[in-house]
Structure 1
Amino acid sequence: MSGRQGGKAKPLKQKKKQQHDLDPEELAFKEKQKADAAAKKAMMGNIKAGKPLVGGGIKKSGKK
């Protein structure tokens, strides 16, 4: 037998992912992450559109 292998090498088999039940804390955390990502995406859209980050402008104390 020679040291050369003919043909294409077979890929290694990967383990199947196990699905585990998520507890309520994990579900709440994932929902919070989704909400944060959506808020960040909306804010980035506003920045690209040239809208101000905060409304109201400069606040003055009223004293002279």
Structure 2
Amino acid sequence: MSSKQGGKLKPLKQPKADKKEYDEMDKANIQKKKDEEKALKELRAKASQKGSFGGTGLKKSGKK
């Protein structure tokens, strides 16, 4: 079928999601999760500064 409409079709707009109402427990859980992620990110940054853990790597045999 030939159509004079060229190019891609635009996707239909999705309706905006309603804002969720959070109670105190939900807010506390969300804040706790954010704090844990922040601490984990800091630990990763700290660990990357020190370099490799063992430092020795793979040992090679003396044979040639």
What range describes the TM-score normalised by the shorter chain of this pair? 0.5 to 0.7
Matched residue count: 50
Runs of 5+ unmatched residues, structure 2:
52-64
Q: What's the counterpart of residue 13 of structure 1?
A: 13
Determine what percentage of the aligned residue pairs are the same residue.
26
Q: What's the counterpart of residue 47 of structure 1?
A: 47
With the length of structure 2 as denominator, give the TM-score of the two structures.
Answer: 0.65
With the length of structure 1 as denominator, give the TM-score of the two structures.
Answer: 0.65
Runs of 5+ unmatched residues, structure 1:
52-64
Q: CA RMSD in A?
A: 1.9
Moved over 4 A (4+): none
Secondary structure of the residue aligned to 1:14 is coil
What residue identity is the alignment partner of 1:38? K
Q: CA deviation at 1:7?
A: 3.5
